A = this chain, B = another copy of it.
Amino acid sequence: MEPQELVQHLEGRAAFRADKMAKVDCFRSDRLLVGLNCFEPGQSQAVHAHAGADKFYVVLSGKANFVVGERTVTAVAGDLILAPAGVPHGVARAETRAVVLVAIAPAP
């Protein structure tokens, strides 16, 4: 499937790696990046922040422990995690295999 295909079934686009979280691009312009972060159980994403860009995650499936600001929260399907510009965020640990939609504006 082309990354810029206008209709995409997200679970079908998920891809996993044994060694670390896998990233999949779904759309990219100067204004917006949309992708997937795909975690095997126990995988993580280092806490980081984006200067001048707002980001959010939406958990599509699975369960993972997110860090956002000074909080750590366990999130499941249907949870939105917002990381406005400058707010530290990451994933401390995926408790199960997890597929997470991510969007960043403007694109990094």
A: which residues have CB within 8 A of B? 4-11, 26-27, 29, 31-32, 34, 53-54, 56, 58, 60, 66, 68-69, 71, 73, 75, 78-85, 87, 101, 103, 105-106
Contact = CB atoms under 8 A, between A and B. Distances in A.
A9 B27 CA distance: 24
B60 A78 contact: yes
A79 B8 contact: yes
Nearest to A74: B7
B26 A101 contact: no
A8 B103 contact: no
A29 B54 contact: yes
A7 to B, nearest CB: 5
